[in-house]
Structure 1
Amino acid sequence: MPTVTLSTYLRITRASALFDILIVAPFATPWTFQLLYPQLGKVNLWLGGAALPLFAQLHIMITCLMGSLVLLWSVRRLLEPSLALGRYDGAGRFLFATWMLWALAQGGLPLVWLFLIPELLWGVAQWWPVAPARTAQRSNGPGLKLVHAS
């Protein structure tokens, strides 16, 4: 299976974080979510789904809590990407995709496909094999060796 370099992988991790920031930011506050939700309802209807139900304050609070957490997690990955954070994010994406598939199975929410497909693609990208770093050794004097990645 082909691999990517660590530097490419870190760019993928940053790109996924930026994508998440753009997608999730409207879910992070009650005011932005209030503007977004009617638009999501229109898209769901346009895709052939049912009208979205009204949200109670509790639903909005839970949505905004999740949006805020995902936003903070995304900023962390954007500013300090790493192989470990990318792998955790990929695992989280597969977990989120599981709940999206559950929602699709309930019916009436074709809108979920617009979130599920990118979620799966980013998850696969962040679980793609990374080429092992090549190391070279050279002598740096008596008994000392410097190991560095090329």
Structure 2
Amino acid sequence: MISETRYHGIVKASAWFDLLVTLPFITPWTMDILYSILRHQHHYWQFAGQMHDLNTANYLFANLMGSVIFVWSLLRILRTDIVTGRLDAVARYLFCLWQLYAWQHGFSSLILIFTFFELSFGIAQSLPVRRNASSSEPVLRPASA
């Protein structure tokens, strides 16, 4: 069990990580730069799998995802709480699932580096929290039958 203060620090750190990692996904121009860097690393380190050329639909969905994650990151930085940390953990597990799916279907194993961070932050944000005595934050509890 971790303290609420420590938990808030984890949520904020994960938000800053997301902000920095996904910032290049916000525009097609910055995405071009990022993807060329990732492709270069894929080839340089001889990762298994492939990194295909991107089309307009790839850019659209990546830019939409980058924009949503950018805003979600800002929310977690400005309003850090247990609820957003728990919801972010769920999102991270979903991201892990789809990254592993892509990897299993031939995408570059470079994705597993990102999966490691998603899983690590997801686990950290799923840890039980010891509430601070002065906290007025709502607690998520299972509904009673």
TM interval, shorter chain, is 0.7 to 0.9
Displacement of 1:114 in angstroms is 1.3
**Aligned-residue RMSD, C-alpha:** 1.4
- In the alignment, what sits opposite 1:96? 95
- Mapped to 2, the partners of 1:100 and 1:49 lie a distance apart of 14
Amino acid corresponding to residue 35 of structure 1 in structure 2: I
For residues 76-91 of structure 1, the aligned pairs below 5 Å read 76-91=75-90
Q: Which residue of 1 aligns with 2:28?
A: 30
The 2-side partners of 1:47 and 1:81 are apart by 39
Amino acid at match of 1:18: W
Q: How does 1:1-150 map to 2 (within 5 A)?
A: 3-45=1-43, 46-134=45-133, 148=134
Secondary structure of the residue aligned to 1:81 is: coil
The TM-score, its normalising length taken from structure 1, stands at: 0.84
The alignment of Structure 1 onto Structure 2 pairs a total of residues equal to 134
State the SS of the aligned residue for 1:110.
coil
Q: Secondary structure, in 3 states, of the residue corresponding to 2:2?
A: coil
1:26 & 1:12 partners in 2: Cα distance?
Answer: 23
Whole-Å separation in 2 of the counterparts to 1:71 and 1:109: 24
Deviation at 1:49, TM superposition (A): 2.7
Distance in 1 between the 2:99 and 2:49 partners?
Answer: 16
**Distance in 2 between residues matched to 1:52 and 1:79, nearest whole Å:** 35
Q: Which has the larger radius of gyration?
A: 1
Distance 1:91 1:29 in 2: 26
Per the alignment, residue 141 of structure 1 pairs with none
Q: 1:55 to 1:82 in 2, by over 3 A?
A: same
Unmatched tracts of structure 2, length 5 or more: 136-145
Percent identity (aligned): 34
**Structure 1 stretches lacking a partner, 5+ long:** 135-147
**Conserved in 1, the CA contact under 8 Å of 2:89 and 2:126?**
yes
